């Protein structure tokens, strides 16, 4: 009997400890639970009955939605409608990741998005996959939601209404597989982070974002006018990764890229794939030296074809115009067919005057062109006085790794890592 009383007392004590936690702590705990499990907490006690329905973050992830849709799409719509009906208070974040087929589900999604935008949503994440050829078109209410600070969209059609005046409070915009079918100007005076991945119709896109700090454009299905970003003087992080040269009626890829890079005085991180190295190396302006300086650049990540001498010259000139470079990453493509010309290029007088005083980390990725990688690595080992680590993705025990290990090093702290 006494043991039962002790047990009950302990259980009651545990319940009291949880119940008296600050509300924001309880909310945080529930947010880590799957939606279904969090909903079950309403049966714990009277004090817990409405806590779940007042959570400011509503995350309907793919696993939750797919489990319901496996039963039926109508069941999925019914459950989410119920969640919306029970919810009380503001919704700070709404995350929906779902694969649907019925047009009725698109109508339901419009209804849910309207609900959250009317409840002052700040973070809106939508990933609407479809089984057929239909693409979900964003409802007008999204474009009239002035409270948005973060907008992440995937597999949607972006068609703002004529009354669209921009997103006044948006800080982060990430679009993946989003389609633009007509001219679109997005005014976002506070936008700091922009990612465009596998988007289509970007020739219609014009983004006005004077305080932009991070820009990544990856694998576009159409060209994007980089000149709309030339006034982004605060841009610090830039990544351009294209799988091919997309059609541009003006054929001004090279000059636009050079002007664009030259317009970014605060740039600290730069990622360029081999296509852009091609464009830069083909520009006649580069033959007389770097046409711009990247004085703030700290990290440079490049995809380079060591079989093309123009790529090597371009890389060297990018290093030359980056006197404060701290980290260099090179993903290697190509072959060793031009090894003699490659080595000759590295032995030119200009290479001996590269500004390597701040360079601490150098990495080579990819197993292509091992002899060229060795020759390039030698340049940094011998000249970089601040070098701390040079990494080469290469099988252990190769001749090149042994040769590099025996080289005199400009930096006594330099570590050579072969993996």
The ranges assigned to domains in the chain are: 18-55, 56-157
Model confidence band, residue 223 (pLDDT cutoffs 50, 70, 90): confident
At 42 the pLDDT is 60
At 404 the pLDDT is 77
**Tokens representing 167?**
């997103």
Lowest-pLDDT choice from 35-49, 333-347, 370-384: 35-49
Lowest-pLDDT choice from 118-122, 219-223, 237-241, 350-354: 350-354
Torsion of CA 323, 329, 330, 331, to 10 degrees: -160
Q: Which percentage of the chain shows pLDDT scores above 90?
A: 44
Model confidence band, residue 118 (pLDDT cutoffs 50, 70, 90): very high
At 257 the pLDDT is 82
Q: Is 283 helix (H, G, I), strand (E, B) or coil?
A: coil
Give residue for tokens 């030339």.
Answer: 230
| 103/105 Cα distance (integer angstroms) | 5
Q: Answer whether residue 221 shows pLDDT above 60.
A: yes
At 285 the pLDDT is 43
At 291 the pLDDT is 74
- Of 219 and 11, the structure prediction assigns the larger pLDDT to 219
What would the pLDDT profile of 260-307 be if each residue is shown by its tens digit?
A: 898 999 999 999 998 888 888 765 444 455 678 999 999 999 999 888
Q: Which residues contact 263 (CB under 8 A, 6 or more apart)?
A: 230, 231, 232, 233
Q: Which percentage of the chain shows pLDDT scores above 70?
A: 79
Q: Is 110 helix (H, G, I), strand (E, B) or coil?
A: helix
| 220/197 Cα distance (integer angstroms) | 6
At 117 the pLDDT is 96
- Of 361 and 339, the structure prediction assigns the larger pLDDT to 361
Q: Answer whether residue 44 shows pLDDT above 70.
A: no
Q: What is the DSSP letter of 304?
A: E
Cross-strand pairs, 96: 60, 126
At 352 the pLDDT is 62
Q: Answer whether residue 3 shows pLDDT above 50.
A: no
Mean pLDDT: which of 261-275, 350-364, 395-409 is highest?
A: 261-275
Phi, psi of 241 (to 5 degrees): -130, 110
Q: Average pLDDT, stretch 364-371?
A: 85
Q: Average pLDDT, stretch 225-242?
A: 88
Q: Average pLDDT, stretch 142-166?
A: 95
The secondary element (H helix, E strand) that includes residue 16 is helix 2-19
What would the pLDDT profile of 70-107 be if each residue is shown by its tens digit?
A: 999 999 999 999 888 888 888 899 999 999 988 899 99
At 5 the pLDDT is 43
With CA atoms as reference, report the closest residue to 140 among 119, 111, 160: 160
At 88 the pLDDT is 83
Model confidence band, residue 216 (pLDDT cutoffs 50, 70, 90): very high
Q: Average pLDDT, stretch 34-49?
A: 62
What would the pLDDT profile of 174-196 be if each residue is shown by its tens digit?
A: 999 999 978 888 999 999 999 99
What would the pLDDT profile of 319-356 be if each residue is shown by its tens digit?
A: 989 999 999 999 998 776 777 777 777 777 566 678 88
Average pLDDT, the chain: 83
At 396 the pLDDT is 57
| 219/243 Cα distance (integer angstroms) | 6
Q: Average pLDDT, stretch 202-226?
A: 87
Model confidence band, residue 246 (pLDDT cutoffs 50, 70, 90): low
Lowest-pLDDT choice from 49-53, 115-119, 225-229: 49-53
At 20 the pLDDT is 66
């Amino acid at each position: 009997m006494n043991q039962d009383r002790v047990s009950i007392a302990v259980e009651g004590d545990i319940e009291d400890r949880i119940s008296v936690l600050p509300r924001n702590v309880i909310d945080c705990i529930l947010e880590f639970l799957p939606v279904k499990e969090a909903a079950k907490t309403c049966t714990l006690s009277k004090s817990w009955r409405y806590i779940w329905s007042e959570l400011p973050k509503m995350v309907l992830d793919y696993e939750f939605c797919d489990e319901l849709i496996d039963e039926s799409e109508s069941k999925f719509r019914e459950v989410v409608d119920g969640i919306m009906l029970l919810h009380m208070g503001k919704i700070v974040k709404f995350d929906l990741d779902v694969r649907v087929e019925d047009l009725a589900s698109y109508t339901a999604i419009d209804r849910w998005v309207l609900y959250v935008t009317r409840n002052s949503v700040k973070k809106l994440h939508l990933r609407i996959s479809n089984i057929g050829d239909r693409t979900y078109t964003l409802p007008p209410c999204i474009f009239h939601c002035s409270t948005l600070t973060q907008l992440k969209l995937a597999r949607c059609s972006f068609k703002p209404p004529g009354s669209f005046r921009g997103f006044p409070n948006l800080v982060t915009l990430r679009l993946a597989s989003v389609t633009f079918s007509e001219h679109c100007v997005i005014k976002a005076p506070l936008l700091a982070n922009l990612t465009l991945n596998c988007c289509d119709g970007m020739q219609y896109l014009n983004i006005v974002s004077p305080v932009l700090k991070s820009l990544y454009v990856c694998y576009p299905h159409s060209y994007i006018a980089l000149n709309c970003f030339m006034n982004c003087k605060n841009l610090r992080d830039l990544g351009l990764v294209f799988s091919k040269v997309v059609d541009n009626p003006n054929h001004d890829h090279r000059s636009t890229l050079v002007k664009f890079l030259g317009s970014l005085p605060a740039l600290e991180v730069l990622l360029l794939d081999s296509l852009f190295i091609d464009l830069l190396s083909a520009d006649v302006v580069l033959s007389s030296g770097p046409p711009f300086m990247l004085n703030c650049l700290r990290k440079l990540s490049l995809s380079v074809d060591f079989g093309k001498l123009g790529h090597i010259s371009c890389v060297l000139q990018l290093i030359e115009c980056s006197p404060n470079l701290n980290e260099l990453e090179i993903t290697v493509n190509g072959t060793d067919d031009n090894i003699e010309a490659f080595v000759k290029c590295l032995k030119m007088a200009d290479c001996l005057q590269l500004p390597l005083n701040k360079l601490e980390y150098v990495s080579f990725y990819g197993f292509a062109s091992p002899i060229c990688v060795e020759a390039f690595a030698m340049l940094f080992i011998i000249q970089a006085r601040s070098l701390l680590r040079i990494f080469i993705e290469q099988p252990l025990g190769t001749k090149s790794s042994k040769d590099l290990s025996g080289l005199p090093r400009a930096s006594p702290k330099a570590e050579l890592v072969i993996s």
